[in-house]
Structure 1
Amino acid sequence: MPDQPEHTATQTKLEQKINEFRQVFSQELSQRLIQLEGLWRIAQHTQVVANFKAFRFEVHSLKGSSAALNYIKLSELLGQIEQHVANCETHELDLSVMTPLIDLLIKKLMALSEQVPNPLLTVHQAITASSSPVSLTEINDETVNTNLKSHREISIAIVDEDNAVGSFLTKLLSTFGFVITHYSSVQQLKKGLESTSYRLVLLDLATPETDNTEVFNLAKTLTQYDTDVFILSSHDSFDARLFSVRAEVNDFLLKPVNITSLVSKIRKNFKIDLIRPYKILLLDDQAAVGVFYKTLLESQGIDVLVLTQANQIMTSLESFHPDIFLLDMHMPEINGFEVAKLIRQQAKYDYVPVIFLTADNDIMSKIAALEAGADDVIPKDTSPELILRQLDSRIQRSQQIRFAASRDSLTGVLNHGQIMEAASHAMRMASRHIKPIVVVMIDLDNFKKVNDTYGHIGGDKVLVSLGQLIQQSIRETDYVGRYGGEEFLVVFSDADSATIERKMNNILTAFQAINFTVNEFDFTCSFSAGLASSENYDKLSELIGAADAALYQAKGAGKKQIWVDSN
């Protein structure tokens, strides 16, 4: 059996943990091979299809474990046996021809287990095989907190020679809580950078006739020092976009910039709306393999739920919402293809990646996996570093797609369908865990007058501001969505009415302090809200109805206030 990699001072806890798995595997291998040979003798003697299947499944199981732990030669021999015995199951080949081949391969397995060569790929080599950093390895508490920082902690510099435009953007973005500094030239920014750093710089691109070399050179320098850069340009051209790509800027926006789109892009850039830590549901009938991958992934700050039986999935999904499904391809009773199709039957998982982890490298199996609705197939002998990179890429992309599909296009909060689904789920969890939820129905005061006086531009500013203010004022476990028109629905999990009433009054005070400007006219807005608790209602429709009734009481009592359901 391959020697275990020597422990060094530089080994990480993850490497040491994987080495422990390898040691346990080594200790158990001889006994497992004896059992494997016994199963083969039974199948050979009885010539019953069920016995051939039992033998092949044990071969596949052992192949998966050896591949995951990077015992390459062992995995290859087991793969050859699996391929040969598959023909025995259907009696396509004469056993007299097949038996000597399988006997020879089993002898090679026994001989390999008694040898002590160095492993073909050590754990440390697997993790450090690439010089590129793995973004998942950086997901510690500090990174999680950084990615979830509020707007107020994101400092932005705007460079625009047009002071009117620069001041306008500064005022609008400040409304959303960003910390903004306006510079009228690149030279001013460079001087400012001597004493101040920014997380994002918005660089205005001059006319095509102007030499923008200095702007792109600055952009390149900023990106190299971990400052994100957006290019703002009044002219759209292939050359300008190409130069921005080569300068490695984060985005290219055309002026006049839509403030809603800009805020959305900033949120996306800083992953404000992405959920961390990542959640992965892993289904593998081999408990040891599940524990191995759980250890690997949790060492990178990922929340992992391991299941060994497919029939546990539906119940688990009621409380665990994965960002990705990792499925074993071959399991007894039910295969991974069937599980993938079962998952894809449910619309809410349309954008959640399904990935197979398998020791089967057959191209037809990979095609079958993709046809079943899977997004990718990862061999179990893939190095841990590459597995992490693939999962990180898939999860980030899927979260971005899910975010876009679930959001109201104007305000950025959940759309009607998604907020109702979130409320329904919260109601089920409240009933199961006996922890009440509070729903709040919010309606802008005199919104028709705002639209009539300041146009839809003014109305949109108000809607976006309220939506984003609520979004950054609630917990990760709470939800806010646009219920319809100028109405918003907020769902607070595990909450009491008195606490939420105080919170909503604070949000109302903050909202009334926002000064909106349209065509040099300034105005402010307010809202009314109704609040109800699930402690008094069994059905979601009744709960929302009670909050709606309380809202109209608030309107009738003079608006600009929060009204609590009296039931």
Structure 2
Amino acid sequence: MSFEDSLEQLKRQFLHALPDKKKQIITLWISLRKNWNAHMLSAVYREVHNLKGSSETFGLSDTKHIVDKLELQLKGLLNAPDPELHTIKELDTLFHQLLQNNMRGQPSPPVVEAQMQQSPYKPAKARHDHHIAIIEDDGNVGAMITKQLREFGFSVQHFLNFTSFLVVQNETPFDLILLDLILPDWTEEALFEAATEFEKNNTRVFVLSSRGDFDMRLLAIRANVSEYFVKPAETTLLVRKIHQSLKMSEKQPLKVLLVDDQQSMVDYFSSLLRSHGLIVKGLSSAEQVLPALEQFEPDLFIFDLYMPEVNGLELAKMIRQLDKYTSSPILVLSSDDTMQNKVSIIQAGSDDLISKQTAPSLFVAQVISRAQRGHDIRSSASRDSLTGLLNHTQILVTARRCYNVARRINSQVCIAMFDLDHFKKVNDTYGHAGGDKVLLAFAHLLQQSLRQTDFTGRYGGEEFMLVLPDMQKPLAIAKLNAIRESFSHIVFVEDGVEFKVTLSGGLVFSDECEEFQDCLLLADKHLYEAKRLGRNQLVFSPSGQD
């Protein structure tokens, strides 16, 4: 369903519920008139204010006109003595107009600008969905590159000529093409022309050539190809360039936690943001926020300013007291975007106040800009600088959280410790540049092989921790064994010398431990047992096979 269709559906639902909402407000007003008190006055004001925000969002101009006057009158009474009789009568008239306005004509549509059709944010394509074509007429060379890339988890197809490749490309386009320039059925000039067209249509082209001279590279530059490799292409460098070119390690979907006591507003803003590729968790109660944070880690918070029991400012202050979210952006929504409110929300630790009548494209642009900043801040603080995986502290925090969740909901999480075999020898023989190349290759393999819901971290040096939530034991064992096996087949090249590296691993499952710390100790014990038994293998408790 498109955003416009979702918006229309939400608008119809809101219109259907509107008469009852107005009657509820009138009932509160009648109760207030009978027994004037500050608590009841605040409740009436809050309901009127909420209706104002909804009216702005859904384009009910007549209703908004009346509610604007009501809100202004009620706001003036919040800190004043009991009202004069003429004030009560003015409010009676306005509430009567509000009730009579129930179904008088259709609301004007909310502003949905042309820019809405072009999302300002596009999340990265799922890494398992990228498809690579290798066009190489030397069957042995093509098969070797295909095998190496498949070890990293890529979907690869090898073609011996350009014509057979085009047949498949025209049906299901590839994301990236590794193109040999010496082919039996097409000239170099024709291949460069084709490469130019592919790049124009967002299919990346890497040239694989036996020639690395200036003239050939210049032709490639003028054809706008993404990368140029002289054969034999080093696999680890090729993999790194593929990740960079396809942006496979960038821009995972941004996540937003939205809280508004009006379900109609939660539905509207959630639908708006989801239509632009963001992941949104919408809540209608402030009390749901802390439990939600155990499983949902937002890049940005959006809170309604006026909510019963707990308002947006109080919620923002509470979030700021959580170490993990001291720098996360917080936006506050309100129909009352006065300077006084803006100052108040900043003093409470929030970043900005956004009016509920903000044009959709501007609202989305502000959310994405700040959410991306929040994501970048969290990422830079939590990532290992070399591999891009979670650092020691963050992978431990993540593993503990996943363990606690699994125990609470009677689910399963696998925690694995991996260590590169004889890594000191790699550094001593091939230098730290060679060692870093191996570490990066393993990080790329993990990113390519695991789900987006899994977690990987560099535990320290050549040791890594993997956390696989909600995965059955046999599947987790098979998956991690496949990673170990694939890594053992990767060929590294340093100063013209080829070498391979293997892995040892220790696995533990959450139902094997009474405490999280017990899981760490058992995983470490299994890892050292794998080393003792000869390396290049996984060790886990016999119950891990159940």
Q: TM-score if structure 2 supplies the norm length?
A: 0.76
1:88–1:95 contact (8 Å) kept in structure 2? no
Change (3 A) 1:102 1:272: same
Partner of 1:153: 131
1:294–1:306 contact (8 Å) kept in structure 2? yes
Q: 1:18 aligns with which of 6, 10, 15?
A: 10
> What is the CA distance between 1:428 and its match in structure 2?
0.8
Q: Does 1:526 align with 2:492?
A: no
Partner of 2:413: 437
Q: Does 1:346 align with 2:322?
A: yes
Q: 1:67 aligns with which of 56, 60, 82?
A: 56
Q: Deviations over 1:264-306 (max 9, x none)?
A: 9945963545444x54432222234334444555566655443
Which segment is superposed worse, 259-268 or 501-510? Answer: 259-268
1:53–1:89 contact (8 Å) kept in structure 2? yes
Mapping of residues 247-286 of structure 1, within 5 Å: 263=240, 266-267=243-244, 270=247, 272-276=249-253, 279-286=255-262
Q: Does 1:547 align with 2:523?
A: yes
Q: Deviations over 1:321-364 (max 9, x none)?
A: 33432211012222101101111211222454322221112122
Q: 2:33 aligns with which of 16, 28, 41?
A: 41
2:120–2:365 contact (8 Å) kept in structure 1? yes
> What is the CA distance between 1:66 and its match in structure 2?
1.4
> What is the CA distance between 1:451 and its match in structure 2?
0.7
1:42–1:51 contact (8 Å) kept in structure 2? no
In structure 1, how many angstroms separate the alpha carbons of the residues matched to 2:456 and 2:279? 24
1:193 aligned partner, one-letter code: A
Change (3 A) 1:41 1:133: same
Mapping of residues 210-289 of structure 1, within 5 Å: 263=240, 266-267=243-244, 270=247, 272-276=249-253, 279-289=255-265
Change (3 A) 1:177 1:400: farther
2:506–2:527 contact (8 Å) kept in structure 1? yes
Which segment is superposed worse, 59-68 or 331-340? Answer: 59-68
In structure 1, how many angstroms separate the alpha carbons of the residues matched to 2:284 and 2:398? 28
Partner of 2:109: 122
Change (3 A) 1:551 1:13: same
1:416–1:482 contact (8 Å) kept in structure 2? yes
2:293 aligned partner, one-letter code: L
> What is the CA distance between 1:131 and its match in structure 2?
6.7
Q: Deviations over 1:502-556 (max 9, x none)?
A: 3233222211211111222221111211122222211122111111111111111
Partner of 1:482: 458
Secondary structure of the corresponding residue to residue 459 of structure 2: strand
Partner of 2:233: none
Q: Does 1:334 align with 2:319?
A: no
> What is the CA distance between 1:107 and its match in structure 2?
6.0
1:133 aligned partner, one-letter code: Q
Partner of 2:141: none
Change (3 A) 1:374 1:541: same
Partner of 2:43: 54
Change (3 A) 1:23 1:461: same
Which segment is superposed worse, 83-92 or 359-368? Answer: 83-92
In structure 2, how many angstroms separate the alpha carbons of the residues matched to 1:289 and 1:404? 33
1:405 aligned partner, one-letter code: A
Q: 1:83 aligns with which of 72, 85, 92?
A: 72
Secondary structure of the corresponding residue to residue 130 of structure 1: helix
Change (3 A) 1:530 1:177: closer
Q: Does 1:468 align with 2:444?
A: yes
> What is the CA distance between 1:560 and its match in structure 2?
1.7
> What is the CA distance between 1:112 and its match in structure 2?
5.2
Which segment is superposed worse, 523-532 or 321-330? Answer: 321-330
In structure 1, how many angstroms separate the alpha carbons of the residues matched to 2:368 and 2:350? 16
Partner of 1:193: 195
2:257–2:280 contact (8 Å) kept in structure 1? yes
Partner of 1:243: none
1:438–1:534 contact (8 Å) kept in structure 2? yes
Which segment is superposed worse, 342-351 or 549-558? Answer: 342-351
2:195–2:223 contact (8 Å) kept in structure 1? no
> What is the CA distance between 1:171 and its match in structure 2?
13
Change (3 A) 1:261 1:352: farther
2:11 aligned partner, one-letter code: N
Structure 2: unaligned runs, 5 residues or longer: 136-145, 155-175, 182-187, 208-214, 230-235
- How many percent identity over aligned positions? 32
In structure 2, how many angstroms separate the alpha carbons of the residues matched to 1:281 and 1:131? 22
Change (3 A) 1:360 1:340: same
Secondary structure of the corresponding residue to residue 82 of structure 1: helix
In structure 2, how many angstroms separate the alpha carbons of the residues matched to 1:353 and 1:261? 37
Secondary structure of the corresponding residue to residue 524 of structure 2: helix
In structure 2, how many angstroms separate the alpha carbons of the residues matched to 1:484 and 1:29? 58
2:7–2:271 contact (8 Å) kept in structure 1? no
> What is the CA distance between 1:480 and its match in structure 2?
1.3
Secondary structure of the corresponding residue to residue 544 of structure 1: helix
In structure 1, how many angstroms separate the alpha carbons of the residues matched to 2:119 and 2:321? 33
Partner of 1:409: 385
Partner of 2:139: none
2:526–2:539 contact (8 Å) kept in structure 1? yes
2:262 aligned partner, one-letter code: Q
In structure 2, how many angstroms separate the alpha carbons of the residues matched to 1:381 and 1:231? 50
1:36–1:59 contact (8 Å) kept in structure 2? no
Aligned length: 493
1:264–1:412 contact (8 Å) kept in structure 2? no
Secondary structure of the corresponding residue to residue 127 of structure 2: coil
In structure 1, how many angstroms separate the alpha carbons of the residues matched to 2:542 and 2:148? 39
Q: Does 1:376 align with 2:361?
A: no
In structure 2, how many angstroms separate the alpha carbons of the residues matched to 1:182 and 1:413? 31
1:127 aligned partner, one-letter code: V
Secondary structure of the corresponding residue to residue 327 of structure 1: strand
> What is the CA distance between 1:57 and its match in structure 2?
1.8
Secondary structure of the corresponding residue to residue 282 of structure 1: strand
In structure 1, how many angstroms separate the alpha carbons of the residues matched to 2:245 and 2:194? 26
Secondary structure of the corresponding residue to residue 449 of structure 2: coil
Structure 1: unaligned runs, 5 residues or longer: 1-9, 139-143, 158-169, 204-209, 223-228, 233-258
Which segment is superposed worse, 66-75 or 534-543? Answer: 66-75
> What is the CA distance between 1:195 and its match in structure 2?
7.6
1:68–1:381 contact (8 Å) kept in structure 2? yes
> What is the CA distance between 1:104 and its match in structure 2?
6.2
Q: Does 1:502 align with 2:470?
A: no
> What is the CA distance between 1:380 and its match in structure 2?
1.4
Secondary structure of the corresponding residue to residue 472 of structure 1: helix
Mapping of residues 104-183 of structure 1, within 5 Å: 105-106=94-95, 109=98, 115-116=104-105, 119=107, 121-123=108-110, 126-130=111-115, 133-135=118-120, 147-150=125-128, 153=131, 181=178
